[in-house]
Each structure stands twice: as C-alpha cells, then as structure tokens.
Amino acid sequence: MLSSASRLLLRRSLGPSPLASRSSSTYYSRPLLSHLLSSCPRLLPPADPEAYEPLLDTADKFTADHGHLDAILDAEEPTFHPPAASSPAGVRLSPSCHSLVSSYIAAGFHCMDVSLSLPHAVSTAVSAATMSAFTGGALGHSVLTSCAALLLDVHGSAELKERYHAKLVSGEYLGTMALSEPAAGSSLATNVRTSAVARPDGAYDITGDKMWTSGADHDLGEHTE
C-alpha cells in the first residue's frame, strides 16, 4: 500500500495527471485495430481500407474529444423518480450522459451498422474505438438499440417496422433487451416462463417477470422499447 506522500512523488515523477493528457491512444491501439481489419480476411469481406479508415479517424476524434466525460459520468449517478401526478416512474440520467449520447448520435455513430450496412467487422471496430474510453454503459444504449433495430429487420412485421425502425435508427427511441427472468439467466433457452398469448383483437396478453433490463424507463430517448 503506498502512503499518500509516495503517491504524490509517483504522480510527480509520472508527470501531469493522465486525465489532463488523455488522447485516444490512451484508450486503445489504432495501429492494431487497422492492422486487424486489413490483415484478417476472414473477418471482413474484401474492402478498401480507404473506405473505412476515415470512419476510424472520426471515431478517434470522438474518443479524444469526449473521453474526459468518463470520470464525470462515473461520479454522476442516475436517480430514480417515483411516479408523480405529472409523470410516470423512471430513471433520470445525468446532463453529461445526455450530452455524450446526443453527441454520439449527432456524430453519426448511433446504429451505424444498421443505417450504413457496414461489414460487421468494420462497425465493431468503430464501436470498439468510440467505446474504449467509457467504462460505464452510457454508449451501451446505442448497442441495445442496434440490436432491437436488427431484430426488427429480420423478424418484425411491416407494422412494427413502420412504427419503430426509423425512430430507433435516428436515436429518437432507444432499445432495450428484456430477456433475463428471476429463474432464467444463462439458461434462457430452457427456463423462460414469460408467455405472450394472441388475443382476437391482434394484441397480446403478456404474463411473466423480467429483470436486469438495462436501459429501461430512462429519460435519454423519447421512448424506450
């Protein structure tokens, strides 16, 4: 265990606080990422590096510009608000979290894999670069939303796609994933008990309990699904 005097000496010998001098290279290795993309043909259909390197440049800049928010997000915990006459119960996220997610959407990273139909390896590399700076789950909202939009692409009815797809991809709505249940975590395939029974009017009666639903009922998007 270092004494506080030793910690001070160590910090002086290391130079300024890492927070003051962080760059994207602090968070991940860009040369390694580019190397993996260009030299692993099994990861990527043939693609011209000139087509994806500019995306990595943009991701690099985003990380360098916003990485300092990570420590602030860690300090600003979300708060739970019980139901009131004017609003339902919900979770309020901090101004820094709102600002980071809005910047991410404005920079075009949100649901990039859905909207640009990028090869999976490229969209994963871009996500790895942008998310490398954030130890919490703030940008995970976009991952959950991509998953919801991709699920709609494959399994959604025309009506559901019409209602949700464009709004998920634009970031107006954010997605969640309600899979785990009190008696079903790793064993989803066999232990899920929730059922959905179709009614004559086209709606469903859903019975069961879900838990561990990250990103539900918060105020980042207009609507969470």
Ligand X SMILES: Cc1cc2nc3c(=O)[nH]c(=O)nc-3n(C[C@H](O)[C@H](O)[C@H](O)COP(=O)(O)OP(=O)(O)OC[C@H]3O[C@@H](n4cnc5c(N)ncnc54)[C@H](O)[C@@H]3O)c2cc1C
Find the binder of ligand X among 36, 43, 177, 192 (CB under 6 A): 177
213 binds ligand X (CB under 6 A): yes
Beta bridge partners of 91: 80, 218
In this chain, which of 3, 4, 186, 190 binds ligand X, going by CB under 6 A? 186
Query: By CB under 6 A, what part of segment 193-212 binds ligand X?
Result: 212
* 72 makes contact with ligand X (CB under 6 A): no
Give the residue from 106, 109, 97 showing the smallest Cα distance to 138.
97
CB 142 within 8 A of CB 224: no
Shortest Cβ 216–ligand X spacing (Å): 8
Nearer to ligand X among residue 94 and residue 213 (C-beta): 213
Residue from 185, 195, 207, 209 that binds ligand X (CB under 6 A)? Answer: 185
Q: Per-residue x/- marks for ligand X, 125-164, CB under 6 A?
A: ----------------------------------------
* For ligand X, the closer CB: 44 or 179: 179
Size of the site for ligand X (CB under 6 A): 10
* Of 40 and 211, CB closest to ligand X: 211
Out of 78, 150, 214, 219, the only residue in the binding site for ligand X (CB under 6 A) is 214
Encoded amino acid at 157, one letter? S
Q: Which residue in the set 167, 179, 192, 219 belongs to the binding site for ligand X (CB under 6 A)?
A: 179
- Considering only 61, 180, 192, 219, the residue that binds ligand X (CB under 6 A) is 180
Nearest approach in angstroms of CB 143 to ligand X is 10
Beta bridge partners of 181: 184
Q: Which is nearer to ligand X, 132 or 145 (CB)?
A: 145
Question: Are 93 and 15 in contact, with CB atoms under 8 Å apart?
Answer: no
**Residues near ligand X (CB under 6 A):** 177-180, 185-187, 212-214
